[in-house]
Each structure stands twice: as C-alpha cells, then as structure tokens.
Amino acid sequence: MVSAVLSMLLLTIALVLVISIVYYTWRNGISPLPSSLLLRRQVEQEVKRLSAVQQESGRYGFTGETANAVPSAMHSFRVESISTAADGAEATVRKSIHRRETGKSDGPLIIEAGSGWGTMALHLARYCQSCRVVGIENSVVPLMVSRLLACLPGSHSIKLVHGDMYRYHYEQADLIVCYLFPGAMTRLSPIFREQTRPGTYIISVYFALPDWEAEQVITCRDVHRTRIYIYRTGSRIYNV
C-alpha cells in the first residue's frame, strides 16, 4: 500500500515537472537547451578577453599595471559619477541589488538573459572567477536544477534569478550573454539599446541582434559551426 502511494506521488511530481517544462517552452517560444562544452569554452575565452579590454579602459576603477597589481578580492566598491541626483540614487540602489545578488562588491558583472539549465552561467562562474554572474530564467524546473548545480564546489559569485529577462534591468551589466532565438533577440534589441551603458559588451550565441552592427563574429569549432556575435554598446548601430 505504501509502495503504491509512493509510486503515485512520484508519478504526480514527474507529471507536474513535465507540464511545467512544456508550458514554459510554449510560453517562451523555445525549450531550454544546455550549451555544449566547446561553445561554453569559446564564450569563456571571449568574456576574459573583453573584460580585460574593459579593465584597461578603467571601467572597474583600475587601469594598466595598477589593475594587474590589485587582486579582484581587494577591489573597492565604486559608484560611477551620475549626471543627476535622481539618476544617481537609482543607479546606486540597482548596484546595491546586484551586490546582494552576487555576494561580491566589484569585478565585471555578467548577466545571462535566459540562463536555462545554467550550463553557461555556471561555467562562467567557475572559470571567470574575477567576474560576478547573474542568470535570469523564468522556467521553474531548469532554474531549480541550475540552483542545485550551483551548490556544487567550484561555482563562485553566481546568482540565479527567477524573473523575466524582458523586464530585468541591465544598466549595471558589464557583459551580457544570450543564447536564445530570433524572436527574443528582436524584443531584447531596444531594451539593450535603452538600458545599457556605453562600452557594455553583448555576446549573442547563434543569433544576431537585429539592427546592430557586430564588432566581431566568431565561428565556434563545434559540429554546428555556431556563430558568436560580439556587440559593444555606444558603437555604430544600423537601423534597417
């Protein structure tokens, strides 16, 4: 009797989980797919390269030899100058939120829009240890799995947020990573244009941002020859 009840309970839970995945797949227009190791390593390489470029430009408060001499753990929290008091207060609050989300006061902030099962976000948190990583996902089951995986040793400064990537605030992002689909990129295009600071890098896997001119296009050496598009906000944008 107990065995039958337990079996029914497990079956019910499995059915609920499947229905949840199907529902969010229908709602989002795409199923959450894990990224391949080759793809993750290529994105990791670009994140390290681009964050080094930003660091040299003084984006994180240190440049040149000073940046290399100061460990990331010793970086002090720095609020960038804001043109108005109201904007400054809002930016300070949002940066404070990101500090609480990531548990780290400084270093490049990477936001993955649509983190799915967390494979990309967790990989970046593991191998880009000077960075803070925030993954945004609205599908409950993949988010739960990614949060469980984040509890394993090796994941540093990561927060996986249950939320809508179209409503999230990207003002404090230093790098944004996307592995989505054309419809999502079309919706995110004006959001990124309006919210991101000049010099923010956007790394889009597989699909381009419409009306944007990529600073660089990289072909990954995976079986699909996946393209990775690199954009920098504040550079030339085409409206077509």
Distance of CA 68 to the CA centre of its chain: 25
> Is residue 90 domain-shared with residue 11, that is, in the same domain?
no
Given a cut of 60, whether residue 205 has pLDDT beyond it is: yes
pLDDT reading at 22 higher than 50: yes
Closest CA to 75 of 65, 62, 63: 62
Confidence at residue 4, expressed as pLDDT on a 0 to 100 scale = 73
Q: Indicate whether 23 and 112 sit together in one domain.
A: no
Phi, psi of 218 (to 5 degrees): -115, 135
* Residues 59, 6 share a domain: no
* pLDDT tens sequence across 145-184: 999 999 988 777 899 999 999 999 999 999 999 999 999 9
Within a domain: residue 240?
no
Choice among 22-31, 48-57, 90-99, 121-130 with the minimum mean pLDDT: 90-99
208 pLDDT more than 90: yes
Q: CA geometry: angle at 43 spanning 237 and 142, to 5°?
A: 105
Q: What is 43-90 written as a DSSP string?
A: HHHHHHHHHHHHHHTTTTS--HHHHHHS-GGGPPP-PPP-SSHHHHHH
Structure tokens at 132: 């803070």
Q: Residue 102 pLDDT > 50, yes or no?
A: no
Pair (74, 172) in one structural domain = yes
Provide the number of structural domains found in the chain. Answer: 2
Among 203, 20, 43, CA closest to 113 = 203
**Are both 138 and 162 inside the same structural domain?**
yes
Q: Are residues 155 and 204 in the same domain?
A: yes
pLDDT for 87 equals 47
The answer to whether residue 74 sits within a structural domain is yes
The model's pTM is: 0.74
* Residue 237 domain flag: no
Q: Which of 42-51, 80-89, 106-115 has the highest mean pLDDT?
A: 42-51
Residues 126, 228, single domain; the answer is yes
Residue 59's pLDDT band (boundaries 50, 70, 90)?
confident
Structure tokens at 112: 């993955």
* Domain contains 56: yes
- On whether residue 58 sits in a domain, the answer given is yes
Mean pLDDT of the chain: 78
Residue 89 has pLDDT above 80, yes or no: no
DSSP category for residue 237: B
Whether residues 49 and 137 share a domain: the answer is: yes
Give the C-alpha separation, 240 to 229, whole Å.
18
CA-CA distances (angstroms) from residue 91 to 59, 85, 96, 99, 138?
A: 15, 10, 8, 12, 24
Q: Are residues 87 and 100 in the same domain?
A: yes
Q: Could you tell me the residue range of the domain that residue 223 belongs to?
A: 34-232
Same domain? For 8 and 73 the reply is no
Mean pLDDT confidence for 176-195: 94
Do 179 and 129 have their domain in common? yes
Q: Which of 7-11, 38-42, 45-49, 170-174 has the lowest mean pLDDT?
A: 7-11
- Same domain membership, residue 227 and residue 132: yes
Number of Cβ atoms within 10 Å of the Cβ of 110: 29
In this predicted structure, the answer to whether residue 139 has a pLDDT above a threshold of 70 is yes
Q: Is residue 155 part of a domain?
A: yes
- Does residue 6 register a pLDDT over 60? yes
pLDDT at 80 over 50: no
| Domain CATH code at residue 139 | 3.40.50.150
